Structures are given as structure tokens and as C-alpha cells.
Amino acid sequence: MSSESQVKVVTTHVLYEMKLRGEKIAMLTAYDYSMARILDAAGIDVLLVGDSASNVMAGHESTLPITLDQMIYHASSVVRAVKRALVVVDLPFGTYQGNSKLALRSAIRIMKESGADGVKLEGGSEIIDSVERILSAGIPVMGHLGLTPQSIHKFGTYVVRAREEAEAKKLVADSHLLENVGCFSIVLEKIPAKLGAQVASELKIPVIGIGAGSGVDGQVLVTHDMLGITQEFSPRFLRRYHNLYAEMLGSFQAYIKDVKSMDFPNEREQY
Ligand code: KIV
């Protein structure tokens, strides 16, 4: 689908209607203007300015170091590119946990300074005060449960979450809690497919999965992973649509060769 022919702005209500009629929601990450333009033109429903920018754009080992100012920079670049998609921005680590007033201040900064459509927070009952306070200001909130990378130091590993009954029960309870307080959607990351399908069938709001199976209402991947720009990350849930690393490497090598051999620029490429 091309957004040129069918420009319809995606709102949280549109996502809700998509779930009602069984249309799957396609979401990908974006951190910059040029990539966001292509994603939006392709007809992506939701663009996530994920704190995965910490890994993908800045080369950190985890999502923890990225700052609110950096997230706002990425988000405002994405928003300038988008005509159709809903833009959701991660609240970074340390800007909402344990302090709902700080959470609201952080969310307001994102909304005011980037022009995004909503924010995403990781966690369930432990951050519910922050979620409620942000919602009370009229800011749409997307939840995120299962593997929550901002808590990597607590988990100690990126393995599949909620395989054990107690953790699965908490995840289901947290999903309902997030829906009941007014979140417009939740992301479920790296959990058993059966549990993903159960949560999607129990909730009225759309459930977007990343490694949560096919029974959820939509899917999200990190764009640089699905394009094959990143090489080292290969979880089972990742489908690579391209090997852009190899393609880009080849182009850069060809350019270097052309410059060194004085093949570039040629007669037609100069004034
Ligand atoms: O930061 C991110 O990219 C995310 C997705 C993996 C859901 O939170």
C-alpha cells in the first residue's frame, strides 16, 4: 500500500477499530527523518521511537544510557517525516520509575517538544502510578510487558519471559491493569505464543507482539534488525527482509575504489 493513494491518519481509535475488524497492526521502529519518511510512505501503521536507539544508533550495550533529550531529538526528527503513522515514543530509563510526577514531566516534554502522539512505558503494577498520572494529562500510553529491556540488570538475561506460571499470571494481571487504567495498547515482548494469544483475546485494546507469536493483534520489529543492517542480533522471532549490511558495505567499497582510482567524479559529474 502507498500512503500517497490512501492517506488516512492513524489514531489510537483507528488501532482499536483495526483490532475489532481483525486487521493486523504493523509497527516498526524509527529514529530519524529519512527512514521515517520511507516507513510512512510504505504505509506502516505505528512508528515506535524506541529506546533501542540506545543500541542501534548510539552503540550502547543496553537501552539504559539513552537520555530524555536524546529521545526527544530522535522523536522530533521522526515526527517531521510522518504524514500518516501514529508515532509513539519510549520514555527512557530513569524518567518515570518510582516517581509519577517526574513521569508526567517527562511525558509532557516528549509530547510538547517532539509532537509525538503518545508514549510507551515498560512495566505493570510497579509503575502504575506513573501510567495513571500521565493518562490523567490526556497523554496516550502504550504499555510494555514480558521482556522489558530497561530491567535487564534485574533479569540478568534476554531469555524468553513468563514461561513459569507465576510470571505468566502476573503478566496477565498486569495486562488487565494497564487496560483498565486506560492504556490504548500494549507491547508484549518475547513470551510464549500461547500466552500472547491469551492476552490478546482477553483484552479489548490492541496487543502488539515482538516474539509473542501470531495470535496477537499486531507485530513490531526493530527496523535495523529486519533490514539486516545489524548483524549480531539473531533471535528466533526476527525475520530479516534484507541483508542491507552487505549491500551497504559493497556500495561503500565501490565508492572508495572509484575515488582512489579517480573514476569518480567523471566528466558528467562535475561543473
Ligand atoms: O525500544 C524498542 O525498540 C522497543 C521494541 C523492541 C518494542 O521497545
Q: Cβ(76)–Cβ(45) under 8 Å?
A: no
Query: Is a pLDDT exceeding 70 seen at residue 5?
Result: no
pLDDT tens track for 147-194: 999 999 998 889 999 999 999 999 999 999 999 999 999 999 999 999
> For residue 83, how far is its CA from the centre of ligand 1 (angstroms)?
22
pLDDT of residue 1: 47
Locate 106 and state its grid cell: 517527562
pLDDT tens track for 219-263: 999 999 999 999 988 999 999 999 999 999 999 999 999 999 999
- Closest C-alpha to ligand 1, atom 2: 50
Locate 157 and state its grid cell: 538475561
- Work out the angle between the directed axes of helices 193-202 and 165-181 (0-180°, nearest 10): 30
Whether 247 is catalytic: no
Question: For a pLDDT cut of 90, what percent of the chain falls above it?
Answer: 95
Query: How far from 251 is each of 49, 243, 263, CA to CA, in Å?
Result: 28, 13, 15
DSSP notation for 85-150: SEEEEEPPTTSSTT-HHHHHHHHHHHHHHH--SEEE--BSGGGHHHHHHHHHTT--EEEEEES-GG
CA distance 79 to 265: 36
CA distance 95 to 190: 24
Catalytic residue (one of 189, 202, 232, 247): 189
Identify residue 92 by its one-letter amino acid code.
P
Q: Could you tell me the pLDDT band of residue 7, with boundaries at 50, 70 and 90?
A: low
**Looking at ligand 1, which atom is closest to the CA of residue 149?**
8
> For residue 174, how far is its CA from the centre of ligand 1 (angstroms)?
19
pLDDT tens track for 247-259: 999 999 999 999 9
> For residue 8, how far is its CA from the centre of ligand 1 (angstroms)?
25
Identify residue 168 by its one-letter amino acid code.
A
User: Which domains, from first to last, does the chain contain?
Assistant: 4-240 (3.20.20.60), 245-271 (no CATH)
pLDDT of residue 232: 85
pLDDT of residue 6: 59
pLDDT of residue 2: 45
